[in-house]
Chain A
Amino acid sequence: MEKDTTQKLVEYFRAQIREDPDVASAVAAIRSLLEFLKRDQSETILGLRENQTKAIQRLEETDSSVAVSSGGELFLRFISLTSLEHPDLSQCKNVMIERGELFLKKISLSRGKVGKLCHTFIKDGAKILTHSSSRVVLKVLENAAADNKRFTVYVTESQPDSAGKLMAQKLHNLNIPVTVVLDAAVGYIMEKVDLVIVGAEGVVESGGVINKIGTYQMAVCSKAHNKPFYVVAESFKFVRLYPLNQQDVPDRFKYKADILKTVKDLNQEHPMIDYTPPSLITLLFTDLGVLTPSAVSDELIKLYL
């Protein structure tokens, strides 16, 4: 694989994220893949697919989040699972590019759909707890505020990158009363809040979610206090993993991409994500609808088979 084309791909991906910080990393990845497909010079459909697979791998090395991996795979399946019987390669390629554009358009709209679905679950006067910085949760809260609902938000600091403070700033700009709490204060604050809403980096086959470290803790606390625990995620984050416990999550998702490349002994590193089992989740809000954790498997079977 030519070094400079992959290099261009990575640069394009990074440029996308730089230009539009609000875009989901998976959407940026899919845009890059589509651009890559357009510029691809292969002569056969198999060659196109192979190049796409390699490109996805290359992007995973750049940004090791679960969403990039799942989004990439779904993109590939979506564009190639059509009838590609045209004798002319350029025609096939055009069909694939068309499908790719369609897929991209669908998923760009998915965050809006989720926001519309979820904001009705926020009642007037509600106290919401959220974890770290999630653009989908921000959209949901934005929609609820636009609906003239009054609510307060507690955000955890979410070390080691203090992403919670960023979220607090954004909410402050929307004129929503927000308080930043320590990660260790989740148990303390749980009795005050009415519901918990978190985003997800990936939704797994069992109906559980993979999200920033600290989510599992919050889920266990909310279960102990009988507070509803809602997860908001777009459908391209559905991934074909089935972890049984925290250890079962593959290492390539747990740590940041650069750490995976440089560090030898991963036991000394701190993982960036954790796995929340489906028994702790009340509902999942996706652009496919409001799902219970057991329905996720149903949707996954439909998406992937």
Chain B
Amino acid sequence: NEGKELTKEEKQRLRKEKKQHKKNKKDDKGPPEKEKEKEKASVPAPSKPATQSPAHKAPAPVHASESAAAAEKPAKSKAELRAERRARQDSERTSKQGKKEGGQQSASSKPKATPNELQPVVKRLPEHVQVDDPAALKKLAKKLERQQVPLRSDYGYKVSLFSHLHQYSRKSPPTLQISIPATVIHPSIVRLGLQYSQGIIAGSNARSVALLHTFKQVIQDYSTPPNEELSRDLVNKLSPYISFLSQCRPLSASMGNAIKYIKKEISNIPSQCKEEEAKGKLQACIDSYINEKIILASEAISKYAIEKISDGDVILVYGCSSLVNHILCKAFEKQRKFRVIVVDSRPRLEGREALRRLVKKGIRCTYVLISALSYILPEVSKVFLGAHALLANGYVMSRVGTSQIALVAKAYNVPVLVCCETYKFCERVQTDSFVSNELDDPDDLIVTRNGKSHLENWQTVKSLGLLNLVYDVTPPDFVDLVITDLGMIPCTSVPVVLRVKNVDQ
């Protein structure tokens, strides 16, 4: 405890005073929304709407769950604190009822301000699927303003079925709106955000690894301000970065899991730990996460997958999955005789990259577009697909076009194998591709052929909308086998793996 000017109790008292002060200020303004937050799986947890100016640098306990999980024990018991908070919320809610205009019809759909005892985990809809709800947008704008992260505006006409999702243009990344030098956002995060929004870094594994490396850099450059704890302050510092990155490109499930892991590791740093030691420990944690969950996992998956590849096989792959490419290269090294058919689709044409990598290894490949799928399938003996995420009800979320391939393969009785590391397993449940998806830049669909671009002026035609979807979900009936680092499981056993993983943690 040397070097700290205030004792633990004094710091807690300071914190409580600041909270009380803020609450009084808020009561004067009129409470906007007071909600009970809990961490969500895929989207970074929003902070309380209590105004927190950067100059304040108050280590306000951002998450109810985190403060409960903090290593230090509060002066009062946790139950008493919770009762206090609930009493405060109830009083604020009754005062709000009087002022309510009833302008938020979606308020009923959102489980807000639910007392702790009724629901242990309250899941709110992530904001990136509520773009057509003005209240949610206002809340997001306020949060971003507080974090000093630029708000990115949507672009172009959105097809009505997908109007609840963001649609950004690649020509206006949020990095244009940041002043130089960036004061709140770390420069490597700005660079990462730009790489994401321009599509320079694409692919689930690549994005997660880049994110983790950037966080290592951020932790390296971080220094604890005086009278602060590294375990609390660093998490608060990461929140604006995560908001910024999700403005550049919505976070993937794998990135969400990685961020959850890092936040957990940071908050578990004991308070006696010196700064250098803590930083070193965090760097080691991140390195071991990348090593175990991504690199070693892909080795284990290759080992299982190679058992399923026999001589004379004709394997169909779609798009560019780093894991599937790795498996095929390893199988080729092990002297398996097979040939590959690469299926590709516009506008990303990722299959070309996969084709390049496989041909370089010396594997015999054929290249078709997805429209030729039913023509080529009678020749195919197996289909290998990568996944962006595996949902808790067994649905596979992957690049758009994957469910089409699985459907046609099922019709031809060709086995479909999905390869996915366990860190991409997500507790979300989704049965269709509409609810949560990503809309890419619609201008990508414009084709220029013989000097003419037919859709160039699509914005002038009022009834025309261009839809560039990124993901779709495949039901588990179409998938025969999922190969993970834990072994080969049927698609319906994903919740079992999630349960086993939660028990481990």
Contacts and interface: CB of A to CB of B under 8 A. Distances in A.
Given A205-B488, A301-B500, A242 B493 contact: no
Contacts of B481: 206, 242, 244
Contact of A205 (B308, B417, B490, B500): B490
A267 interface: no
A42 interface: no
A206 B490 contact: yes
A247 B382 CA distance: 12
A239 to B, nearest CB: 13
B308 A207 contact: no
A301 B382 contact: no
A205 B310 CA distance: 20
Contacts of B496: 297-298, 301
B475 interface: no
A242 B488 contact: yes
A294 interface: yes
A245 interface: yes
Contact of A278 (B382, B415, B489, B490): B490
Interface string A268-305: 00000000001100000000000000100110010001
A297 B489 contact: yes
A298 B308 CA distance: 22
A88 B160 CA distance: 75
Given A205-B488, A206-B481, A301-B500, A245 B493 contact: no
Interface string B483-505: 00000111011001000100000
Interface in A196-221: 205-207
Question: How extensive is the interface on chain B, given as a class?
Answer: 10 to 19
B480 interface: yes
A297 B417 CA distance: 16
Contacts of B417: 244
Contacts of A301: 489, 493, 496, 500
A279 B475 CA distance: 14
Contacts of B310: 247
Nearest to A247: B310
B492 A245 contact: no
A247 B312 CA distance: 13
B415 A297 contact: no
Interface in B347-390: 382
B333 to A, nearest CB: 22
Contacts of B490: 205-207, 278, 294, 297
Interface in A220-272: 242, 244-245, 247-248
Given A242-B481, A301-B500, A294 B493 contact: yes
B42 to A, nearest CB: 25
A279 B492 CA distance: 12
A301 B490 CA distance: 12
Given A242-B481, A245-B415, A297 B308 contact: no
Contacts of A247: 310
A297 B481 CA distance: 12
A244 B492 contact: no
A207 B491 CA distance: 11
B315 to A, nearest CB: 12
Contacts of A294: 490, 492-493
A118 B92 CA distance: 59
A244 B415 contact: yes
A183 B477 CA distance: 30
Nearest to B476: A294
A297 B493 contact: yes
A249 to B, nearest CB: 12
B491 to A, nearest CB: 9
A19 to B, nearest CB: 39
Contacts of A206: 480-481, 490
Most buried by B among A207, A242, A301: A242
Contacts of A244: 308, 382, 415, 417, 480-481
Nearest to B483: A242
Most buried by B among A247, A301, A305: A301
Interface string A176-208: 000000000000000000000000000001110
Nearest to A207: B490
A244 B381 CA distance: 11
Contacts of A207: 490
Nearest to A241: B488
A278 B296 CA distance: 31
B304 to A, nearest CB: 9
B494 to A, nearest CB: 10
A20 B496 CA distance: 40
Nearest to B415: A244
Contacts of B500: 301, 305
Contacts of B492: 294, 297
Interface string A145-172: 0000000000000000000000000000
Nearest to A208: B490
A206 B480 CA distance: 8
Interface in B416-432: 417
Most buried by B among A205, A207, A244, A294: A244
A305 B493 CA distance: 14
A292 to B, nearest CB: 9
A206 B488 CA distance: 9
B481 to A, nearest CB: 6
A272 B285 CA distance: 52
Interface string B407-420: 00000000101000
A301 B494 CA distance: 12
B493 A298 contact: yes
Interface of A: 205-207, 242, 244-245, 247-248, 278-279, 294, 297-298, 301, 305
17 contacts: A205-B488, A205-B490, A206-B480, A206-B490, A242-B481, A244-B308, A244-B417, A244-B480, A244-B481, A245-B415, A247-B310, A248-B308, A294-B493, A297-B493, A301-B489, A301-B500, A305-B500
Which 8 residue pairs of A and B lie closest in terms of their CB atoms, listed nearest first? A294-B492, A244-B415, A297-B493, A242-B488, A298-B496, A206-B490, A297-B490, A297-B489
Given A205-B490, A244-B308, A297-B489, 17 more contacts: A206-B480, A206-B481, A206-B490, A207-B490, A242-B481, A244-B415, A244-B481, A247-B310, A248-B308, A278-B490, A279-B477, A294-B490, A297-B492, A297-B493, A298-B496, A301-B500, A305-B500
